[in-house]
Amino acid sequence: MSSIIGYYTTQFGELWDKSLFDLAREAISGVLQDCELEKNQIDAVFYGNMMAGVLENNLHGGAKIAQLLGTHVPIFRVESACASGGMAFHLAHNYILAGKAETVLVLGAEKMTDYPPEVVVQALAAAASGEEQEAGLTFAGLYALIANYYFSKYNVTEEDLAHVSVKNHFHGSLNEKAQFKNIITVQQVLKSSYVASPLKVLDSSPISDGACAVVITSNKQLLANAKNKVEILASEVATDALSLKDRAYFDRLEATSIAAKKAFEISKVKIEDINVAEVHDCFSIAEVLALEDIGFCKKGTGAKFVAGGKVTLGESSSFVVNTSGGLKAAGHPVGATGVKQIGEIFLQLTGRAQKRQVKNAHTGLAHNVGGSGGTVVVTILSNKN
């Protein structure tokens, strides 16, 4: 088995004074410092990035990472839409399990705010099917279609859904690296402008810059000397049709259910053992689907599950969702998000999440989605080692 021994994240937000590789450099330096390693102790790097090829005309980022590290080790750029970071982690973990390396750095980075919003939205839409793009559907539009169907089928309202963003902004207010630290109300969500009805501005994650990195190792000496370590119990991937119209279901992301089931089986963890989860809330409806599809609550009950306060941080909380603020409040630099989710679980399980620390957290889950559910990565971590 391999374990995470270090994590670092840059600030998320509109970072006008930093380039993509400024952010990458900061994340690499920060994670090496966190786990007290030298560059020459890294055997390989997996780099999650979605949009540099489209926005920056840069498709050979691996060589740039080699330049930053001053290394000749294998470096793999991974693209899987908004699941690029989670997929990079999955591949790095399996690279170690295959015996190809002992110590691997996983980097996720994205620079989105230097470009006009319409250009970024068009670039993001490249993760949808050609038919959906030709119809003018953005991801807000795709998730709005899902939300409208879900509302109709389960008698859920916009007010019910608004509690997701309220919770995540509360958690984001406790995260110094979050893009948004402002607490919001249900009424503010409801009064915000529609992006694609029924989804509004405050139902939607922002355009963000940021980078994150973790170090994974199976090296016995490094593990023995590590100040902080969390065991990787499972990292599983499932896929689905690219187009919504070709999916078996319209009120769920089936790839989430499949990846989660595999992760629970491999880890031998029961769902009630999870103390903290980072789930993919690119839009508020996505968090509701995730909670149901993973199995934390029954289908059709996710919005009310959140609204009831059961997954909000509090003195007696035993299970909390999106302590980082989620994509909604922490920010969503798409290539970095999956690594941030895993890093947040690492902080929680090592007792270093500061104001947002979940008491007695011992097992956590990260859930990273690409596109509208075409790719899903589910990772389970534990500090019981």
Give Cα 198 distance to the centre of its chain: 24
Which CATH number is 360's domain given? 3.40.47.10
Asked whether residue 132 is assigned to any structural domain, the reply reads no
Asked whether residue 260 is assigned to any structural domain, the reply reads yes
Check 35, 82, 212, 282 and give the catalytic one. 82
Which residues make Cβ contacts (< 8 Å) with residue 331, sequence separation at least 6?
A: 12, 13, 178, 179, 180, 205, 206, 208, 210, 325
Same-domain pairing of 157 and 31 = no
Is the pLDDT assigned to residue 12 strictly greater than 70? yes
Residue 349: how many other CB atoms lie within 10 Å: 25
pLDDT score at 385: 59
Percent of the chain with pLDDT over 90: 98
CA distances from 101 to 43, 44, 95, 104, 105 (A): 6, 7, 7, 7, 11
Asked if 205 and 281 touch (Cβ cutoff 8 Å), the reply is yes
Percent of the chain with pLDDT over 70: 100
Same-domain pairing of 220 and 257 = no
Nearest one of 254, 365, 377 to 311, comparing CA atoms: 365
- Known catalytic membership, residue 35: no
Q: Note down the domain range covering 64.
A: 3-115+207-225
Same-domain pairing of 302 and 172 = yes
CA dist 146 and 161 (Å) reads 13
Same-domain pairing of 240 and 343 = yes
E strand spans, 54-151: 75-78, 103-110
Check 93, 171, 280, 332 and give the catalytic one. 332
DSSP 112: -
DSSP 193: P
Calculate the CA dihedral of residues 90, 91, 92, 94 and round it to 10 degrees.
90
Same-domain pairing of 235 and 296 = yes
pLDDT score at 315: 77
pLDDT score at 275: 98
Domain count, the chain: 2
Is the pLDDT assigned to residue 260 strictly greater than 70? yes
Asked whether residue 286 is assigned to any structural domain, the reply reads yes
Per-residue pLDDT reduced to its tens digit, 321-379: 999 999 999 999 999 999 999 999 999 999 999 999 999 999 999 999 999 999 999 99
How confident is the model over 152-157, as a mean pLDDT?
A: 97
Same-domain pairing of 107 and 244 = no
Same-domain pairing of 359 and 279 = yes
Same-domain pairing of 54 and 147 = no
Asked whether residue 121 is assigned to any structural domain, the reply reads no
Same-domain pairing of 154 and 38 = no
Same-domain pairing of 15 and 37 = yes
pLDDT score at 209: 98
How confident is the model over 268-272, as a mean pLDDT?
A: 97
Asked whether residue 143 is assigned to any structural domain, the reply reads yes
Asked whether residue 129 is assigned to any structural domain, the reply reads no
- Known catalytic membership, residue 332: yes
Per-residue pLDDT reduced to its tens digit, 274-293: 999 999 999 999 999 999 99
CA dist 286 and 192 (Å) reads 18
Is the pLDDT assigned to residue 127 strictly greater than 90? yes
Q: What angle do CA 53, 58, 64 make, to 5 degrees?
A: 130
Tokens coding 138: 């953005």
Using the structure block, give the residue that is written with the tokens 């879900």: 150
> What are phi and psi for residue 369, nearest 5 degrees?
-115, 140
Please, what is the end-to-end C-alpha distance for the chain in angstroms?
A: 11
How confident is the model over 120-137, as a mean pLDDT?
A: 95
Same-domain pairing of 103 and 158 = no
Asked whether residue 123 is assigned to any structural domain, the reply reads no
Asked whether residue 193 is assigned to any structural domain, the reply reads yes
- Which of 172, 191, 225 is the last residue before a domain boundary? 225
Same-domain pairing of 22 and 159 = no
